[in-house]
Amino acid sequence: MDAIIIRNATKRFRKNVIPRTHSTLKSEFVKWLRGQKRPASESWIEALRGVDLTIPQGKTVGIIGRNGAGKSTLLKLITGIYAPSSGTVVVNGKVSALLELGAGFHPDFSGRENILINSIILGRSRSEVRARMSEIIEFSELGDFIEQPVRTYSSGMYTRLAFSVATHVDPDILIIDEILAVGDEHFFRKSRAKMEEFKRAGKTIVLVTHGLSTVEEWCEQAAWIDDGKIRQVGNPREVVSEYVRTVALAEQQQALPSPPTGPVTQGTDPSPVSSGALPSPLLDSRIRIEGVRFINGGGQEAVSIDTEGSLDICIDYVAPKPFGDLGFQVSVMKAGGIEVFTTDTFLDSVLSPQSLPATGTVKLRMMRIGLIEGTYFVEVVARSQRGEAYGRPPGRYSFQVHSSIRDRGVTRPPHQWSVEPRRGPS
């Protein structure tokens, strides 16, 4: 049985809704009454364009995508706040959604009163709420504040109250829009545990988040929305790594000046380029870099590596006639163009060009990556010792480092803490 079935759903918003919401013209009024379609020339914003998504019952599904991709609109369709412009949305079961902080909280009322009202809005009866009241209050950890008006609450307290209410109304489907991040570490873990409990109880959870590691570790399915469409659905790791790669690619294309090319003439471009990959600049016919691969410690190709793991950056090249003064340079960059690490075969004096096989792979092994969680770009160039570039690989490459440890900065060198007694001046 599927909990949520979305078929070819589109959602359009009238563009003029944003700058000038309310028209007072009588003709507009009559049109609205009759439900007439506006002239076609009017511009629309298509938040969702043909979404197909089936969420099986009892599955935890993470929805990822860039800002403005349509994630929130999709959630609002599922919760029934919006109706699809076309297509169908079928939801089997009672939905409890946590879309925004304090939906429907009345600022002048106490936490306790708001729990009552909010639970009733979410479909509980008074007696049911009364029966669970103390449980909800306890979960929210608001203590004596529960009798205070919620306008005096901090945003963390708001979150706790909202989450407590949403999870204590026994929904079949829980929909959460990344607000969990507002809570502190302790409540975050607690809410995680609560959701874990939901999972075990066989309930369906739909989670919209930017925390990719959450999706990877925690969801059974991931759906990637891009530009109002489902780009990929499936195994969270696969979807996330594909997503990371694409985002990194886009970021890097934005961050770097576009490669100097001739004037772009549409249609008559002599070298059509497959989408996603940049043309391989052929600087020197003697060497061509065909691609870059990342191999993890397990010997498998991967784009997502643990901080403590090893990484092999493999450069596949073709050099029909190996020649002297040839080396390879690898740079690891962070978003924003921060150079993390650059090295080359000259510096490490490892390569004797004469012994290069005509078709081969240059492998740079980092025994322990030691970078903090994030996305890293890799730039590879084959060059001379003086720095003349011979060849670059087609496309851009990036990998993702994940870690359970949340330190900041760039690297995580091997380290150790200790405490020792010190003999000070007496």
Partner 1 sequence: MLRNVRELYQYRVLLLSLTQRELKARYRASVLGFLWTFLNPTLLMLAYVLVFGIFMKAQMRHYVFFLFVGLLPWVFFSTSLSSGASAISDRRDLLTKVRFPAQVLPATVVATNLINYLLSLPLMFVLGAILGEWPTWHAVVFPAILTLQILFTLALSYMISALNVVFRDLQYIVANLLTLWFFVTPILYATSTIPEAFRKVLVLSNPMAILITSYQAIFYYHQLPRILPLALVTAVSLGLLWLSAWIFERRREEFAELV
Residue 162 is inside which H or E element, if any? helix 155-167
Q: Which two tokens stand for residue 65?
A: 């995508």
Residue 333 is inside which H or E element, if any? strand 327-334
133 Cβ contact list (under 8 Å, min separation 6): 112, 115, 116
Q: Which two tokens stand for residue 272?
A: 């059509």
Cα separation, 390 vs 289, in Å, equals 9
| Residue 160 vs 402, nearer CB to partner 1 | 160
| Min dist. Cβ of residue 159 to partner 1 (A) | 14
Q: Are 87 and 6 in contact (CB under 8 A)?
A: yes
Cα separation, 388 vs 192, in Å, equals 53
Cα separation, 179 vs 75, in Å, equals 14
| Min dist. Cβ of residue 192 to partner 1 (A) | 23
Calculate the CA 270 to chain-centre distance: 36
Longest CA–CA separation in the chain, Å: 92
| Min dist. Cβ of residue 157 to partner 1 (A) | 18
Q: Are 252 and 278 in contact (CB under 8 A)?
A: no
| Residue 78 vs 302, nearer CB to partner 1 | 78
Q: Which two tokens stand for residue 224?
A: 């990637």
| Residue 96 vs 345, nearer CB to partner 1 | 96
Other C-beta atoms lying within 10 Å of the C-beta of residue 170: 14
| Residue 70 vs 394, nearer CB to partner 1 | 70
| Min dist. Cβ of residue 224 to partner 1 (A) | 25
| Min dist. Cβ of residue 251 to partner 1 (A) | 31
Cα separation, 123 vs 250, in Å, equals 44
| Min dist. Cβ of residue 100 to partner 1 (A) | 5
| Residue 146 vs 303, nearer CB to partner 1 | 146
| Residue 109 vs 323, nearer CB to partner 1 | 109
Q: What angle, rounded to 10 degrees, do the helices at 155-167 and 126-140 form?
A: 140
| Min dist. Cβ of residue 117 to partner 1 (A) | 6
Interacting residues toward partner 1 by CB under 8 A: 13, 17, 21-24, 28-29, 32-33, 35, 76, 79-83, 95, 97, 99-100, 102-106, 108-109, 113, 116-117, 120-122, 125-126
| Min dist. Cβ of residue 39 to partner 1 (A) | 17
| Residue 123 vs 387, nearer CB to partner 1 | 123
| Min dist. Cβ of residue 150 to partner 1 (A) | 12
Cα separation, 173 vs 4, in Å, equals 9
| Residue 161 vs 326, nearer CB to partner 1 | 161
| Residue 157 vs 212, nearer CB to partner 1 | 157
| Residue 82 vs 376, nearer CB to partner 1 | 82
Cα separation, 407 vs 80, in Å, equals 40
Break the chain down into helix, strand, coil percent, rounded to 5: 30, 30, 40
| Min dist. Cβ of residue 284 to partner 1 (A) | 58
Q: Which two tokens stand for residue 336?
A: 């924003």
